[in-house]
Amino acid sequence: MNILVTGGAGFIGANFVYYELKNHPEDRIVCLDKLTYAGNLQTLEEAMKNDNFRFVKGDIADRDCVFRLFEEEKFDIVVNFAAESHVDRSVENPEIFLKTNILGTQTLMDACRKYGIKRYHQVSTDEVYGDLPLDRPDLFFTEETPIHTSSPYSASKASADLLVLAYARTFKLPVSITRCSNNYGPYHFPEKLIPLMISRALADESLPVYGKGENVRDWLYVEDHCSAIDLVIRKGREGEVYNIGGHNERTNLEVVKTILKLLSKPESLITYVTDRPGHDMRYAIDPTKIHTELGWLPETTFDKGIEQTIKWYLDNEDWWKNILEGDYQNYYERMYKNR
């Protein structure tokens, strides 16, 4: 099969490229990525050595570029990871989120309609469901939970999901959607909680925890997300939404303290800073549907995954230090200086 992976130079997309090359050596993977600040060709160095892999630099919202690529390659499956993905950046500047996340999705689906496709898969997020209260641990997001977004990022992802379902109904496009909880693992960009805290703790710098650090996220090791998407694109039912998550709920403070403990760094590095506007309290996925229909279960517990992740960051300092040396310093200054 010929599979288009958009956003494959980013965190989850790159992990998915490696997952596919390893588990389906008979398939060919083409990665289309704009190489924004979050895209990194260094991440794909090993993939570039594989004859079954091709990298193309381009914007999913650029119709000429996308249609040209579809004309050149006869894709069987499209997996759309490409997105602006950071909530804080969407608060600072929503526009690019609407362009990439909504219009980019539309452009890809228009190309699928014109050139034909076996499956268009949209990589979505649990953030489309909004949040859950802290005092109701019995509540979880199911696929039936109403869409109820909080940030420009989640609103753009929800809009894209609605568009995907509309293309399925109106144009009979064969689609599927997965909505996953927070990922962590190798190649995670250090603007997100876990890699930010690891990289700053290693440098003995303060660790900026928003509000009181009570917000809860449901952490999933990235390889488990990749195995779930792989199952859905090959065996999942057309037109369906599948939630992905592994019941690994932790408060942000618990996560930060775990990282400090594993790195033997003092808790005095923790600094409480002004909260994120509109900050979602708790995410928690009910993965019953993907488990019962496709037999998917996560393999990595949070305790094991966070150890593996810290080890990866220790073994791959070059990867994240290169990022910290670039435009990242300006970003950190801008986002955190007045908090």
Per partner kind, with CB cut-offs from 5 to 8 A, the member of ligand NAD, ligand DAU, none near residue 6 is: ligand NAD
DSSP string computed for 78-93: EEE--S---HHHHHH-
To the nearest whole angstrom, how small is the minimum distance from the Cβ of residue 183 to ligand NAD? Answer: 4
230 catalytic? Reply is no
Binding to ligand DAU by residue 181, rule CB under 6 A?
Answer: yes
C-alpha–C-alpha distance, residues 29 and 77, integer Å: 10
E strand or H helix that includes residue 209: strand 207-210
E strand or H helix that includes residue 53: strand 53-57
Is the CB of 29 or the CB of 83 nearer to ligand NAD?
83
Is the CB of 73 or the CB of 272 nearer to ligand NAD?
73
The sign of the torsion formed by the CA atoms of 316, 320, 322, 324 equals negative
Taking the alpha carbons at both ends of the chain, their separation in whole angstroms is 49
User: Which residue is nearest to ligand NAD, using beta carbons?
Assistant: 10
Nearest in space to 163 (alpha carbons), one of 213, 112, 222, 223: 112
C-alpha–C-alpha distance, residues 82 and 88, integer Å: 17
Cα angle 193, 227, 307; round to 5: 40
Binding to ligand DAU by residue 208, rule CB under 6 A?
Answer: yes
Binding to ligand DAU by residue 150, rule CB under 6 A?
Answer: no
Residue tagged active-site, from 127, 218, 223, 224: 127
Residues 6-45, one symbol each (x = binds ligand DAU by CB under 6 A, - = not), give: ----------------------------------------
Binding site for ligand NAD (CB under 6 A): 6-7, 9-13, 33-36, 38-39, 59-61, 81-85, 100, 104, 123, 125, 157, 180, 182-183, 189
Is the CB of 84 or the CB of 223 nearer to ligand NAD?
84
Residue tagged active-site, from 20, 59, 126, 131: 126
332 catalytic? Reply is no
153 catalytic? Reply is yes
Is the CB of 182 or the CB of 258 nearer to ligand NAD?
182
Binding to ligand DAU by residue 82, rule CB under 6 A?
Answer: no
Residue 251 phi/psi, 5° resolution? -75, 160
Binding to ligand DAU by residue 182, rule CB under 6 A?
Answer: yes
The phi-psi region of residue 318 (left if phi > 0; otherwise alpha if psi is between -120 and 50; otherwise beta) is alpha
DSSP string computed for 6-23: ETTTSHHHHHHHHHHHHH
E strand or H helix that includes residue 195: helix 193-202
Per partner kind, with CB cut-offs from 5 to 8 A, the member of ligand NAD, ligand DAU, none near residue 216 is: none
Q: Which of 6, 125, 248, 300 binds ligand DAU (CB under 6 A)?
A: 125
C-alpha–C-alpha distance, residues 196 and 320, integer Å: 10
Residues 236-265, one symbol each (x = binds ligand DAU by CB under 6 A, - = not), give: ----------------x-------------
> Which residues, listed in sequence order, are joined to residue 242 by a DSSP beta bridge?
178
Residue tagged active-site, from 153, 167, 221, 283: 153
Q: Which of 6, 15, 80, 85 binds ligand DAU (CB under 6 A)?
A: 85
Binding to ligand DAU by residue 196, rule CB under 6 A?
Answer: yes
* Spatial CB neighbours of 337, under 8 Å, sequence gap ≥ 6: none
What are the residue numbers of the active site? 126-127, 153
Interface with ligand DAU by CB under 6 A: which residues? 85-87, 125-127, 181-182, 192-193, 196, 208-210, 215, 217, 252, 276, 283
